[in-house]
Amino acid sequence: VLLCIFGEKGRKRKMKGRAILNELRYALYIMCHPFDGFWCLKKEKRGTVRASLCIMLLLTVLTVVESQETGFILNYNDLNKTNVLQLICSVWIPYFIWCVANWCITTLVDGEGSFKDISVTTAYALAPMILFHVPMLIISRFIIAEEATFYYMLAAIAVLWSGFLIFVGLMTVHQFTPGKTLGTMALAVVAMAIILFLALLFVTILQQFWAFINVLLKELSMRR
C-alpha cells in the first residue's frame, strides 16, 4: 500500500514537473510566433501564473549573478557594496508597478485583459532577457574591451525584442489597435512615474512622522 501511495505521488510530481516545463517551453514559441503565441496564451490558457513566476525568478537570479560574475571589463558594480535585496527589488518592483499601471489605464479604455493576463503576458515577453543574457554572461568573461560592442549589441537586441513582445502581447490581450496599444503603454509609463512619486512621498511622510514620534518620546522621557 505504501509503495502504491509513494508511487502515485511520484507520478504526480513528474506530471507536474513536465507541465511546468511545457509552460516554460511555450515562452520560446512566443518569441518566434508572438501574434499566434499570445493569442493562444490567453484563449487556450497556454500560459500560467506559476510559469510566469518561474520566468521572473530566473530573471531575478540572473540579475544577481550578473552583478557578481560579469567580466571585470564590463562590470561597473562595486562587488564589495552589492546589495542583493536592492537587485531583487530592481526586478520585481518595476514589473509589479508596470502591471498595476497598465491594468489601471486599460481598464479605463475598455481593455479586455485582466491583471492576471497582463502579468503573465509581461513575464513571458521578458523571456529574451534570459535567453540572451545567459550567453552574454559567459561571453563577458572572455572578450576584450575592443569587442564590448558585440556584448552591448546583444543587450540592445534583448531589450528591443522584449519590448516588441510586450507590445504585441498587450495588443493581443486587450484587443487594441497598434496605435491604441502604444498610447496606453505611454500612459502606463506616466502612471508608473506617478505611482513611484506617491510611494516615495508616502515613505517620506512616514519617516518624518516616525522622527517626530521619536523626538516626542525623548522629550517626555527627559521631563520625567
In tens digits, the chain (224 residues) has pLDDT values of 444 554 555 556 666 667 788 888 899 999 999 999 999 888 877 888 889 999 999 999 999 998 888 877 787 777 677 788 989 999 999 999 999 999 999 988 888 888 999 999 999 999 999 999 888 888 888 888 777 888 889 999 999 999 999 999 999 999 899 999 999 999 999 999 999 999 999 999 999 999 888 888 887 777 66
Element counts in the chain: helices (H) and strands (E): 8, 0
- The pTM (predicted TM-score) of the whole model is 0.84
Burial class (CB in 10 A: 0-12, 13-18, 19+), 188: buried
d(CA 62, CA 68): 10
Q: Are the CB atoms for 46 and 173 separated by under 8 Å? A: no
SS3 content of the chain, % helix, strand, coil (to 5): 85, 0, 15
What the block records as the C-alpha cell of 198 is 506617491
d(CA 68, CA 160): 25
CA dihedral sign of residues 86, 91, 96, 101: positive
d(CA 186, CA 180): 10
